[in-house]
Amino acid sequence: MALVTVTDPARDYLAQLIEKQDVEGMGVRIFVTQPGTKNAETCLAYCPPNEIVPTDEQVDLGKFTLYLDHASVPFLEEAYVDYSKDQMGGQLTIKAPNAKVPNVDENAPLPDRVNYVLASEINPNLAAHGGEVSLVEIVDESVAVLRFGGGCQGCSAVSLTLKQGVETTLTERVPEITEVRDVTDHTQTENAYYQ
């Protein structure tokens, strides 16, 4: 079963919302739209009894049942739902670190492990400059061929980013990778962060 943590304040807040719906047996479904992509979003929705999907995993939270969308389960690993009160009333927060790429272990295929490191560690840092990097292929069993995009394409600092950032991180996290190569057309500089 996917490990989804729902804090007590979040459980109590959701239970209050459910109670206002006045529907017997109402629960909450958690799911990921566009899972495994950079556009993935983790969502919560009311789940009345007539919308329960038999393949969903069920978690009894005491005051209501949480339904985990079956297709989203690998992407909900380590998800965390919290509620904190503030001056405007409060805020419900959902964090799902594996929504964009499911967590993989050392036995996963090499491209999956490389993509996981790119999505979970490298691209969040590149996003600060509007950039991203993706795996094109793995050649010679140990060379990751990458393509940069967004603010990284045509950026004057991309060689530094490639060697000191991307290559260092990938070779540390995925020991089978010994080298990275960039196949990006860096003559296109209109979106480059550094020109």
Residue positions forming the annotated binding site for [4Fe-4S] cluster? 152, 155
In SS3 terms, 38-79 reads as: CCCEEEEEEECHHHCCCCCEEEECCCCEEEECHHHHHHCCCE
Q: How far is CA 96 from the centre of its chain?
A: 6
Q: 62's torsion region: left (phi>0), alpha (psi -120 to 50) or beta?
A: left
Annotated binding residues, written as ranges, equal: 152, 155
Cβ atoms of 41 and 103 closer than 8 Å? no
